[in-house]
Amino acid sequence: MEEIKAATGGDFRPVDYFKITVFGFAVSALWGSLHTIVLPMRLLDFVVASSKNTYLGLLTLSGLLLAMLVQPIAGLVSDRSGFRWGRRRPYILAGTVITLLFLPGIGLAGGYAAIFTIYCLLQVSTNTAQGPYQALIPDLVPAGRRGVASGVKGLLEIIGGLGLVYLIVYAGNYFASEGVSWLWVVLGILAMLLLAAMLVNVITVRERPALPEAQPPLLSTLYKSFQINLRADSGFILFLISRLLFTMALTTIQAFAFYFIQDVVGAADPAKTTSEVLVAVGAGLIIAVYPAGRISDRVGRKPVLVTSGILGSTGMLFLFFVPSYAYVLAGAGLIGVAGGIFLSTNWALATDLVPKSEEARYLGLANMATAGGSALARLVGPVIDFFNRQSAGTGYQVMLLMCLAYFVIASLLIIKIRTRN
């Protein structure tokens, strides 16, 4: 396989965008499938239906809090690493191998405590790989092409995180009719994708060796993983809060979509209907993600991101006022367009704001906001169950109003961001 290395604008080719971002496709496929379909269905084997949102929320909250800690630390350690074959790929390789060892535990778990433990271990291992992986765009992509690279990254993550869920549901149902366990088919597909994407990344990407002059003490290194200069990085802090809120809106819908469709839409086959709704989201994402990255390179990041907040808010209103199947699809499509714009343009804004020589650490913090938003979104689970006990379906209406507020506040914060001097 032909390798790529750090390039100037002239020798960075279209295929290179794929090579440095394909690992994100597999990671998104893993977590999109687990969070949207596998875990909600698996938990019904262990918990009572009236508390299902609470148990799902607490499970994923705990794992994502671990992700918030692990990813920036792994990013900082990789920034200061001096392996002969690069700063990022050794961690991508190690984290993936460990993930493949833990993944079968989702099928083997015999109770809530066991699946809770396996889920947390998977968060640690995948984020050990993902923190360093995030730095490949600022490491290797010329500055004028990072919007496009972020668009490709977002597109692959969409296909992995949403589009693949649809295929997995149907593939699983097919094999289940042949007497093969649906769950093991899904886990096997995810494992093969993760392994293949890791190999493509590790084999085809060549990094420049970066040998640090001196290694700082471990404790000071860990402390610095989360250190931000409040004055110099004020724009980055606003960016983190905005990213956290936007992620909370998107993740809340994804996390509780299965139960929302089961309880409010009343679908006979919630898994199939959820996958169809995700296809609508994915269509919106695919339409928007690549053009948004290119447009943001020309007109700036902020106007494009504010537009995404407006579209996301409109989608939430569709779900709130008319929770029928057709309107759920329409609202999901609008939210998908908003998410596509966000995925490419917000990440491009992050690469604009990070300081030189600390790209992986700062991008790890950006993903800490992502993980934090994903984690905090799970706290809505007990809120949904509480209001549903007062009046059936009310909890989901509260959820949608909260998501609407997240979109609006995130957009207002984007307007106030100033780029680094």
pLDDT tens digits for 351-408?
A: 777 766 666 667 767 777 877 788 888 889 999 999 998 888 899 999 999 999 999 9
Q: What is the DSSP string of 15-83?
A: HHHHHHHHHHHHHHHHHHHIIIIIHHHHHTTTS-GGGHHHHHHHHHHHHHHHHHHHHHHHHHHHHT---
Report helix, strand and coil shares of the chain as percent, to nearest 5: 80, 0, 20
Domain membership flag for residue 3: no
Contact 249, 385 (CB under 8 A): no
Domain membership flag for residue 2: no
pTM of the model: 0.70
Greatest mean pLDDT among 111-115, 231-235, 326-330: 111-115
Q: Residues of the chain with pLDDT > 90: what percent?
A: 23
Domain membership flag for residue 170: yes
Quick one: pLDDT at residue 395?
92
Domain membership flag for residue 4: no
pLDDT over threshold 80, residue 263: yes
Domain membership flag for residue 408: yes
pLDDT per position as a tens digit, 41-67: 888 888 888 888 899 989 988 888 888
Q: Which CATH number fits the domain that encloses residue 118?
A: 1.20.1250.20
Domain membership flag for residue 324: yes
Domain membership flag for residue 225: yes
CA distances for 405 relative to 44, 126, 248, 309, 385, angstroms: 30, 31, 10, 10, 20
Domain membership flag for residue 79: yes
Give how far the C-alpha of residue 212 lies from the chain's centroid of Cα atoms, to the nearest Å.
Answer: 31
Domain that holds residue 204: 11-209+218-416
The average pLDDT across 182-200 equals 90
| Residue whose C-alpha is closest to residue 260's, from 394, 74, 124 | 394
pLDDT per position as a tens digit, 114-134: 999 999 999 999 999 988 888
Contact 420, 355 (CB under 8 A): yes
Number of domains in the chain: 1
What's the pLDDT band for 93 if we cut at 50, 70, 90? very high
